[in-house]
Amino acid sequence: MMLELEGLSAGYGADAVLHDVDIQLNPGEIVTLIGANGAGKSTLVNAISGLIRPFSGQIRFEGQRIEQLAPAARLRLGIAHVPEGRHTFAGMTVAENLRLGAFLDGGADWMARARKLFRYFPVLEERFGATAGNFSGGQQQMLAIARGLMSEPKLLMLDEPSLGLSPLLVSEIFKLVRRLRDEGLTILLVEQNARQALQIADRGYVIENGRVTLSGTAEALIRSKDISERYLGIG
Ligand code: ATP
């Protein structure tokens, strides 16, 4: 097992958002989290990357308890988080943004790492010295994902990577995510775009009001009447 959440409760201040959540990720699979706005998906990812500490419950990564570790320690173990809204550094170049992604290792071989990523992101090679602030939404999302990969993670967590992108770019992002999985990466994918997420995922969890209400293989979830009605727009 790569990641295990057991009885996880978490939130902000005194307010619990997640209640008693159990989730597992096996190595090499795409697991998608589906749920309405405000269901708690981002909160779950924040708890795994260490941006918030859980109120109770366990998070194990490759068998090791991590729920009390600082975010940098979790990153060092191999957990990368690409947050919702991309958060690339607009005033910096592509190169500088990527270099920041390798900061944990002092950035020593950052250029070699960046070069390895160019096969996934040809646009970033073409625009290596260009300022990120002028990029389109799709290019910024590619840059945010590439920056996440610069730490050479085992687990990549993507929070709403397709948000605000045109259908063509959404397809490109999903194709990329599948390719990364096919090459061995484990991926936790938070998506509003449930249909496309389930098409590339191996398994999924439905989160409602901070609780897991349904889980299963992506195929089973696509066939589920409940999911079709609520999340796939089929009445
Ligand atoms: P979305 O797609 O809108 O991001 P989500 O499923 O990811 O939805 P969360 O962002 O996890 O949902 O939000 C769950 C709840 O936690 C919401 O009620 C939200 O208002 C609250 N919340 C989120 N971030 C914070 C914060 N920094 N401080 C306080 N409450 C927060």
Please work out whether the CB of residue 83 comes within 6 Å of at least one atom of ligand 1.
no
What pLDDT, on the 0 to 100 scale, is given for residue 90? 82
Output the CA 46–ligand 1 centroid distance in Å: 10
What pLDDT, on the 0 to 100 scale, is given for residue 235? 45
Of all protein residues, the one whose alpha carbon is nearest to atom 2 of ligand 1 is 37
What does the pLDDT profile of the chain (235 residues) look like in tens digits?
Answer: 999 999 999 999 999 999 999 999 999 999 999 999 999 999 999 999 999 999 999 999 999 999 999 999 999 999 999 999 878 888 899 999 999 888 777 667 889 999 999 999 999 999 999 899 888 888 899 999 999 999 999 999 999 999 989 999 999 999 999 999 999 999 999 998 899 999 999 999 999 999 999 999 999 999 988 888 888 775 4
Backbone angles phi, psi at 15, to 5 degrees: -90, 115
What pLDDT, on the 0 to 100 scale, is given for residue 2? 98
Strand partners, 230: none
Helix (H/G/I), strand (E/B), else coil: 51: coil
Please work out whether the CB of residue 46 comes within 6 Å of at least one atom of ligand 1.
no
Of residues 30, 23, 18, 31, the one with CA closest to residue 3: 23
What pLDDT, on the 0 to 100 scale, is given for residue 104? 76
The token pair at 148 is 């996440």
Backbone angles phi, psi at 50, to 5 degrees: 100, 5
Burial class (CB in 10 A: 0-12, 13-18, 19+), 118: middle
Burial class (CB in 10 A: 0-12, 13-18, 19+), 134: exposed
- DSSP character at residue 131: B
Distance (Å, whole) CA 193 – CA 173: 12
Please work out whether the CB of residue 38 comes within 6 Å of at least one atom of ligand 1.
yes
The ipTM (two decimal places) reads: 0.94
Distance (Å, whole) CA 235 – CA 228: 7
